[in-house]
Structure 1
Amino acid sequence: MIYLDYAATHPMTPEAVAAYTHAAALPGNPASVHAAGQAARELLEEGRGRIAAVLGVDPRTLTINSGGTEGDNHVLLGIALAWEETYGRPGHLITTLTEHSAVLAPARWLEKQGWAVTFLAPDRHGRYAPAQLEAALRDDTALVSIHHANNELGTVQDTPSLAAIAAARGVPYHTDAVQAPGVLPVHLPDWGVTFATFSAHKWGGPRGVGVLYVQRGTVLPPVVYGGGQESGLRPGTQNTAGVYAAGLALTHAEAARESTFAHLSQLRQRFMQAVAAIPGLRINHPPEGSPKVVSLTLPGTDGEALLMNLDMLGICASAGSACSAGTMQPSHVLTATGLSEADARSTLRFSFGAATTEAEIDAAASALTQAAQWSRS
């Protein structure tokens, strides 16, 4: 099997597996005051501290949760709750048409509750200009939420410029940054964002572990109530083993990030050269985006059939986003950038990792060429 779906989930690294196994053997609850509990607390805080060091922030600004979806929902719904408690009415939200469903779904729910929501439209490669955001801001804008790196196209936004525009108007800025760590530089003080969400399984940590960055001094109510864990922002017993493994995995990923970026860039170039002769091939990903993502449209083919053929040939890829797979709907990201529904259904995403080899790339390119021929025959 050749795994080329890193944008969906990065396989756990050996270091993360070893760290998880070690921490999972400890019996204590990190909230307990006895020795076993405090041993678990030490590993939990070590993991949090490692993540904070890579992101360039105080560990106390990171709230542990289950991943990007929970973090995105917490920011949008929490800010909406705080706004309505202050002003007694719905406000205005700005987001984009190419966000992950973890942002789009709560945004559309808020719209049904009376919120005004502006969905910015992208250019062909999924980019947003600062002038678009400037024009969309209103006196009642409560939040701007724009992803940093897109999961389907690899498009990277100019987050510092966009966040600065929102800050100049006193509007909190949130970015879904789950696709960035381990490939792209992430130093939150340079970005100037109010909130940022991350998922450990995108950088080689365990699934079901994430962190939400909340800028110090920012008011964000909880949306789940229970115990006092995570300063009351996210009650519930923390996943000690998961956080400890996530921190170790991110430390290793960051140490190798520059070499990983160069490796992925070479792999993407090699792959594109190898598939260039496929008739009608359209490239959707921007050349300057994250090098781990390749998005290709093969007009006249069926994406699901292509995936099944590739799977039979031992290649794991995806059709658009993993979180929307099986919905029988064309990717909202692709249609927002101008693809027809038919072309969106004929699009595949390949995504690479540091462990991907040139031999695997060559095999995948050969398999795609063969699968495309089968699909059109």
Structure 2
Amino acid sequence: MTAPAAAPSTATATTFAAALNTAMSDAMEHDDSVVVFGEDVGTLGGVFRITDGLTKRFGPERCFDTPLAESGIAGTAVGMAINGLKPVIEMQFDAFAYPALEQIFSHIAKMANRTRGRVRLPIVIRIPYGGGVGGVEHHCDSSEAYYAHTAGLKVFTPATVADAYLMLREAIDTQDPVVFFEPKKLYWSKDAADLSALRLQYEDSQGGRVGAQGAAQIRRSGTDVSLITYGPSVPTALKAADLAAEDGVSVEVLDLRSIVPFDDAALMRTVEKTGRAVVVAEAQGFASVSSEIVARIQERCFHSLASPVLRVTGFDVPYPAPKLEEHHLPTVDRILDALDELQWED
């Protein structure tokens, strides 16, 4: 199977970036304890303009710039959360967040357990992540496994405009720390999501929840094989599924949405239905989220499998220079090749 050149998008509606911006604005309007801060998020509106206009609307006390010190940003969030605020902090790029790991791993993730639940830290750590934008070193990385491995953190990663809004609202309202991974290459993607309708959907839902935590979603139904993926790889998996259908292969695409907590039930349903699975993720394959997904499939669905579980991931090398990015990331052709490798004789 070989993918033809992609057709230009005809989407003209809401962008992923606008959905995130609106989610923060609505949360700040709804709850005075929500504050947004990070490097260049105030006057500039962030390097990707995700926080554009928040300082003008809510003032510099609630949306403000910080020094270039990620550990200080995370540590400040801890103090604010202990004292009743709900910080939403931005790590400007995925690999920029590493100086903050000590604060995140030692304090943010452990505070509730350390205090037997008496001190909760409702902090959202927004991290633009992944490739597809031609970023240089330290500006493109897929670091989700570090956070998913750290007990005490929730890890969300939306792949649609609607989820960008709904899941960020839910993350901000969650009483536990959430690492919110935003696929950089999807910031300018568009679909027909109506932000006004999403706002009503969220605010009218019971307790202001929409069930994003630990709730995967089928993005395309199929019967022959399951593509299990999340975040930036979801659109790629859907394109591969469309092309596979032209060759008579019915592909189901499962978008995990929430890495922690994890939707084991949805994973089991799709694999037991199709009997074949390919896991797709941009991060390196070794000791990764994709490794955990394969292990769960083997443990829970072994007797339903008609073929070994395969993976299409980034290679086990440091993230490459922009000119090599297209060879490193999972592509439609690499996914189609994986589908060809499955055992199709029953």
TM category (shorter chain) comes to: 0.3 to 0.5
Q: Structure 2-normalised TM-score?
A: 0.32
Q: Which has the higher contact order (CA 8 A, sep 6+)?
A: 1
Q: Which structure dedicates a bigger proportion of its chain to strand?
A: 2
- Whichever of the two has the greater Rg, that structure is 1
Q: Structure 1-normalised TM-score?
A: 0.30
